[in-house]
Structure 1
Amino acid sequence: MSVRRAITAVGAALLLALLPNTAQASTGYPDPQPITGQQIIHDPTVIRLKSGGYVAYSTGGVIGARTSKDTKRWDDAGNAFATPPSWWFEYNDTGDPWAPDISYRAGRYWLYYAVSSWGTNHSAIGVATSRTGLPGTWTDHGKVFSSETTDTWNAIDPAIIEDRGRLWMSFGSYWTGIRMIELNPVTGKALPGADVHHLATRPDAPYAVEGPYIVRHGRYYYLFASYDACCSGVNSTYRIKVGRSTSVTGPYVDRTGKSLLEGGGDLLLEGHGRYIGTGGQSVFRDRGQDWLAYHYYDAEDNGTPKLGLNRLAWVHHWPVVK
């Protein structure tokens, strides 16, 4: 390369470095919707209540609660439960619940959640119901499904989907990845002897995929999942991938046709700018619009986990974050 060409190349590189927001623009990822009030959250699940307004539940506290009138300002609303149900302490010393999922069917709100300890698959998923969906109104109904150290799956991170009168729960974290089991639609608990379907994993240990969420759009089912590591503030590497299937039980594939059981998955959203480790996601529908709810670690606030909300569009039968 000539000296003149080298100087030109260096000058161009310097110019690119000085352009504002170049790194963010290159990712193509939008920032989350601006919100105010209580923004701190982890593993959010959000629903628009029949009575009006919104509630979000999350990991932290005894299933931490936030409420909003418009999804733009959120207020701390305490916890789903005043005290942990006694059976939770079988799975950790503090009765600490993780990763809830809220849904509405049969005239009631259903809140699924997990209890476990870090680094073990001695875990259980429980369920509670409420007529209003508001914190302090939940009745716990005990275990839905559990896993032990002899199992090749981990019973945490539940998410519910109804399909043609049948009820399904996806779940899983590490330990060979994402699984699914059919539930009794009356009790909301696992059907005795039901098959445990395998939906997604990675070819490399420790199989870092968790937090599934499945939605149906058109003729496809879409599996959203969090890949890599959460819970390390600005060092978190969480990112959200997606695959689709024509059957709720799979197989799920990405745009190239690669199975999520073979490490496939299209990248939907990852960290950019101040928004680090995007994951712990769920999807909710509000007046005809699909929204992606997730947490991120704020690089401008010491890695504090905060609520991210983005619209989901559907382009050529695939979700796109807006």
Structure 2
Amino acid sequence: MRRRRLATLLSAAVLAFLPATAQADTAHPDPQPVTGQQIIHDPTVIRLKSGGYVAYSTGGVIGARTSRDRVHWDDAGNAFATPPSWWYEYNDTGDPWAPDISYRAGRYWLYYAVSSWGTNHSAIGVATSPTGLPGTWTDHGKVFTSETTDTWNAIDPAVVRADGKLWMAFGSYWTGIRMVELDPGTGKAIEGATVHHLATRPDEPYAVEGPEIVRHGRYYYLFASYDACCSGVNSTYKIRVGRSASVTGPYVDSTGKPMLAGGGDLLLAGHGRYVGTGGQSVFEDGGRDVLAYHYYDAEDEGTPKLGLNILRWTKNGWPTVG
């Protein structure tokens, strides 16, 4: 599960630095070259209306990176100066994970999760900003929560608009990926909203998480991270995808296998120095879709770093990594 403080990630990566690169799959393309501050985990990226890019991530109080050209990235501190007080209901350090940034109704929206390792006592929160830049966010509290009595886990949010409505996919392990409808005014879950089930694995621990949903043509595409993160070069994260004509599913892969039965086409897996590719998001840039993710650098003691690749679409409407 991708819910660990960045300091812990880095420490675990060093301790776990073993020759796992023998498992590399060289069929997958490398990420585009980037420079500057490359360390990141669970990146969400957007091209700002004011120009340039901002990326937010797990680590710090939602760590921030900025870029003018999508190549050189600078450390920009954190989204918040201090954690909102309610975060401490979910962990002792006020530690957030896996943000999701979007632009809607004249402002930027930042969704994120707070929880503790190994429990589904979790919450998703939301903040807004007029510029999308760190230090400008106003927190609005809880969007949706889960408790130990629930069969889902309220982490890893991803917001998408569909058919005039606003939706949020979320989830990790605990039977996989779920979805609820949001109130477009508040950005929070509609009271009593149905919890839709989008993807899972057949067997425990149901290792699928980190959804991202993208509209392309007449389909919605569900990208998700499968297997395990957060173990440096021993991480087995990989990105799979399925699609549906309805945002609430059912999602199937190119063979017709449902993602609720463990289906999902393999989009990107570890290869060479780029181990454990996952924690993905997708953003639009100049009319093209760009896949953002983290990988563990086998040539730098398993440090998590930023991966960026152009998404291309086949004639049959399936994404490939360029």
Q: CA offset at residue 252 of structure 1?
A: 0.1
Q: Within 5 Å, which residues of 2 pair with 1:67-216? A: 67-216=66-215
Q: Provide the C-alpha distance between the structure 1 equivalents of 2:264 and 2:203, rounded to a whole number of angstroms.
A: 15
Cα deviations by residue, 1:122-179 (Å, 9 ceiling, x for unpaired): 0000000000000000000000000000000000000000112200000000000000
Amino acid at match of 2:148: T
Q: Provide the C-alpha distance between the structure 2 equivalents of 1:23 and 1:271, rounded to a whole number of angstroms.
A: 8
Calculate the aligned-residue CA RMSD, in Å.
1.1
Cα deviations by residue, 1:195-242 (Å, 9 ceiling, x for unpaired): 000000000100000000000000000000000000000000000000
Give the TM-score of the pair, scaled to structure 1. Answer: 0.92
Match of 2:8 in 1: none
Q: Structure 2 unaligned segments of length 5 or more: list them.
A: 1-21
Amino acid at match of 1:236: S
Q: Is structure 2 residue 235 aligned with structure 1 residue 236?
A: yes
Q: CA offset at residue 45 of structure 1?
A: 0.1
Q: CA offset at residue 28 of structure 1?
A: 2.1
Q: Provide the C-alpha distance between the structure 2 equivalents of 1:165 and 1:136, rounded to a whole number of angstroms.
A: 31
Give the TM-score of the pair, scaled to structure 2. Answer: 0.92
Which consecutive segments of 4 or more residues in structure 1 shift more than 3 A?
Answer: none
Q: Provide the C-alpha distance between the structure 2 equivalents of 1:258 and 1:193, rounded to a whole number of angstroms.
A: 30
Match of 1:58 in 2: 57
Match of 1:4 in 2: none
Change in Cα spacing, 1:86 to 1:23, as seen in structure 2 (3 Å) is closer
Q: CA offset at residue 23 of structure 1?
A: 9.1
Match of 1:311 in 2: 310
Q: Which has the larger radius of gyration?
A: 1
Match of 2:277 in 1: 278
Q: Provide the C-alpha distance between the structure 1 equivalents of 2:185 and 2:286, rounded to a whole number of angstroms.
A: 27
SS at match of 1:231: coil
SS at match of 1:75: strand
Match of 1:299 in 2: 298
Cα deviations by residue, 1:225-276 (Å, 9 ceiling, x for unpaired): 0000000000000000000000000000001100000111100000000000
Q: Structure 1 unaligned segments of length 5 or more: list them.
A: 1-21
Match of 1:49 in 2: 48
SS at match of 1:89: helix
Q: Provide the C-alpha distance between the structure 2 equivalents of 1:58 and 1:144, rounded to a whole number of angstroms.
A: 19
What is the identity percentage for the equivalent residue pairs of Structure 1 and Structure 2?
83
Match of 1:36 in 2: 35
Q: CA offset at residue 287 of structure 1?
A: 1.0
Q: CA offset at residue 27 of structure 1?
A: 3.5
